[in-house]
Amino acid sequence: MKHFLAIADLSTAEFNSILATAKKLKAEWRKRGNKPILKNKTLGMVFQKPSLRTRVSFDMAMLQLGGQALYLSPNEIGLGQRESIADVSRVLSRYVDGIMARVFAHAHVTELAKYSSVPVINGLSDHEHPCQAMADVLTIVEHAGKLKGKRIVFLGDGNNVARSLMYACMLGGGQFVCSSPKGYTIDDESVAQAQKLAGKSGGTVELIEDPQAAAKDADVLYTDVWASMGQESEAAERAKIFPPYQINSALVACAKEDCIVLHCLPAHRGGEITDDVMDGPHSVVFDQAENRMHAQKAIVALLMAGKRSKK
């Protein structure tokens, strides 16, 4: 694995290796703290959008593995504006041992990777949120026992988070269902790519418009904001269309009795999820948020450990 840009790019072996490494590093962290396997290694973090989880979890992941992260805010670099993406990548990769980037267009993160001499990690683009999906799978495995054969139902906008989760379900043999209003489900091309990715894993994809029918017998209910970062101008219109897809107690009642509820966060409480569900017995959203750090430790370790440090 040279970069970590999309779940769709991973082989089953790479996916399993990230998951196994995350479990191992999490257990080690709980027992006696992690070993400094990234001593003197540095991660440059380029942000074109705001963040709580991605920023802090990568920062702590690097610190706890003996390395260091450098935060570069949206105003600092001017990716593609002050300087071309190719030049930012060429320069930054002379200084640091890895680059994590949160961008608008997915093409921007692939462009960074193209010109970088160090590994590049996608910390969210309009197309995928692959670090999130690895944390999601870790959380599903911890709380539901496994991913294979589980019914994972994503409700709301067929967005970056939904797409990465779908690909992850394909690699891990999950039964992925996306339930969205007309015109907002995952695009046909991504669905076809997912079905190809499933190979012999047993993973399946279904698009079911009716949220109650979709949620029936679910092992996992998952939602995300109805308007993603960059779609703020559509938020008011979407707020009129999406309410039937809200995860509330009535919808949870359609799922299995022991279902878990996930949300990548930040949540709009009272929008895509109600307070009682978010704070209720099915919700594992804060375990999921913690798992960002463990999943990303695995990603940086697999990409950066053992290589010569620039420090």
- As measured in angstroms, the least distance from the Cβ of 299 to ligand CP is 14
Closest to ligand CP by CB, 53 or 163 = 53
Across the chain, the runs of DSSP E, i.e. the strands, are: 42-47, 68-72, 98-102, 120-122, 151-155, 175-179, 204-207, 220-223, 260-263
Contact 206, 176 (CB under 8 A): yes
Task: Identify whether 224 is a catalytic site residue.
Answer: yes
Question: Is 64 among the residues known to form the active site?
Answer: no
Active site residue 94: no
Choice among 48, 132, 175, 296 that is catalytic: 132
Which partner, ligand CP, ligand NVA, none, binds residue 52 by CB below 5 to 8 Å per kind? ligand CP
Q: Is 60 in the site for ligand CP (CB under 6 A)?
A: no
182: which 2 tokens? 């007309």
Identify which of residues 259 and 264 has a Cβ nearer to ligand CP in the complex. Answer: 264
The CA dihedral of 186, 107, 57, 221, to the nearest 10 degrees, is 0
| Partner touching 239 among ligand NVA, ligand CP, none, CB below 5 to 8 Å by kind | none
The interface with ligand CP within residues 243-282 (CB under 6 A) comprises 264-266
Q: Which of 53, 55, 102, 108 is catalytic?
A: 102
Backbone angles phi, psi at 50, to 5 degrees: -65, 165
Task: Tell me which DSSP letter residue 233 carries.
Answer: G
- Catalytic-residue membership of 102: yes
Residues in the interface with ligand CP (CB under 6 A) total 9
* Nearer to ligand CP (CB atom), residue 158 or residue 203: 158
In the chain the first and final C-alpha atoms are separated, in Å, by 23
- In the region spanning residues 26 to 55, those forming contacts with ligand CP, defined by CB under 6 A, are 51-54
134 binds, among ligand CP, ligand NVA, none (CB under 5 to 8 A by kind): none
Report the alpha-carbon angle 219-242-55, nearest 5: 70
What is the side-by-side strand order in the sheet with 204-207?
204-207, 175-179, 151-155, 220-223, 260-263
Note whether 226 and 242 are within 8 A (CB): yes
Catalytic residue among 169, 259, 264, 282: 264
| Nearby residues of 200 by Cβ (< 8 Å), 6 or more positions away | none
CB-hemisphere CA count at 13 Å for 227?
13
In the complex, the smallest distance separating the C-beta of residue 15 from ligand NVA, rounded to whole angstroms, is: 21
Contact assessment for residue 177 and residue 151, using Cβ atoms and an 8 Å cutoff: yes
Binds 38: which of ligand NVA, ligand CP, none (CB < 5-8 Å by kind): none
Q: Which one from 3, 55, 108, 129 is the annotated catalytic residue?
A: 129
User: Which chain residues interact with ligand NVA by CB under 6 A?
Assistant: 124, 159-161, 224-225, 228-229, 264
The residues, ordered by sequence, that sit 6+ positions from 240 with a Cβ below 8 Å of its Cβ are none
Could you confirm whether 32 is annotated as catalytic? no
Q: Which of ligand CP, ligand NVA, none sits in contact with 224, Cβ below 5 to 8 A by type?
A: ligand NVA
Q: In angstroms, what is the minimal distance from the CB of 264 to ligand CP?
A: 4
Site for ligand CP in 99-158 (CB under 6 A): 124, 132
Chain residues that interact with ligand CP, rule: CB under 6 A: 51-54, 124, 132, 264-266
